[in-house]
Amino acid sequence: MQIYINGTFYSKNDAKISVFDHGLLYGDGVFEGIRVYSGKVFRLKEHLDRLYESARYIMLNVPLDHKKMTEAVIETVKKNKLADAYIRLIVTRGTGGLGLDPFKCEAAQVIIIVDKIQLYPEAMYEHGLEIISSSILRTPESSFSPRVKSLNYLNNIMAKIEAVHAGVPESLMFNADGFVVECTGDNIFAVSNNEIFTPPTSTGILEGITRDCVIDIARNLGYTVSEKLLTRHDLYTADELFLTGTAAEVIPVVLLDKRPIGNGKPGAITLGLVKAFKELTKREGLPAL
């Protein structure tokens, strides 16, 4: 494995950063998770746009421009020779002192890792997964924009711990108004009466690139897709539920808080979208190999 750190490649054992990096000391930085399918990087432009927007929100100067970052990502994929992979692109605040002030840090650091990923067992894509409602509310916009993909995931990690303790792979987070937001690393969709619904950005979601992709796919297939405020009631009574995310892709949810969704089996619309998404990932992408 060859890991990119600020323009130089290191083996896994030699890829190290300073313990004074504020990415480590304070979770000060941003990142992206990106997929490579059949040697092509999927939706790289969209991921980089979100990375630069996240960086701008936290006033972090990314040392590479869009074009140079694209080249760095492609070069790292080439070095690792993986046709199907997951790219973790990280920009940390850089090395500083033992104090919060981000402006006292030296240059931001860019790290790119390319590796394999399998978030959930293959069988769950066919049979669906079980989730629970988390008691942890998603960070509100008034505290920190949930649209920023930052290195501080403790809000989501607290909800993930609840899932693990309950013996399920994911948990669903709500906001302070009681509306459905998203799972710890995925966006959520509900299907009711052949219409597809997903919470709007204003609820506090990370605007998923897979979410956008699936909305387009579903509309092209002729479904009505609406961004709508959803409550627990809407999900308990939905015909189908599914999650979307770069790592998770599109995956059916069949149990929520031990309650079967629809008939307790992945629904036809969800399975159609799982298939259509797979096909799209084969067709699209920026060639890297």
Task: For the CB of residue 153, give the shortest distance to ligand PMP in the complex, in Å.
Answer: 7
E-state strands within 38-128: 40-41, 85-92, 109-115
* 76 touching ligand PMP, by CB under 6 A: no
Do 223 and 189 contact (CB within 8 A), yes or no?
no
Dihedral angle computed from the Cα positions of residues 156, 159, 163 and 169, in that order, rounded to the nearest 10 degrees? -20
Among 156, 175, 203, 281, binds ligand PMP (CB under 6 A): 156
Do 246 and 121 contact (CB within 8 A), yes or no?
no
* 33 touching ligand PMP, by CB under 6 A: yes
* Spatial distance between the Cα atoms of 27 and 17, rounded to a whole number of angstroms: 14
* 210 touching ligand PMP, by CB under 6 A: yes
14-22, 58-66, 238-246, 266-274 -> range binding ligand PMP (CB under 6 A):
238-246
* 241 touching ligand PMP, by CB under 6 A: no
* 140 touching ligand PMP, by CB under 6 A: no
Instruction: Name the pairing type of β-strands 286-287 and 225-227.
Output: unpaired
Q: Which residue out of 149, 258, 265, 275 is catalytically annotated?
A: 149
Instruction: Name the pairing type of β-strands 170-174 and 180-183.
Output: antiparallel
Task: For the CB of residue 95, give the shortest distance to ligand PMP in the complex, in Å.
Answer: 26
Q: Name the site residues for ligand PMP (rule: CB under 6 A).
A: 33, 156, 182, 185-187, 206, 208-211, 244-247
The residues annotated as belonging to the active site are: 149
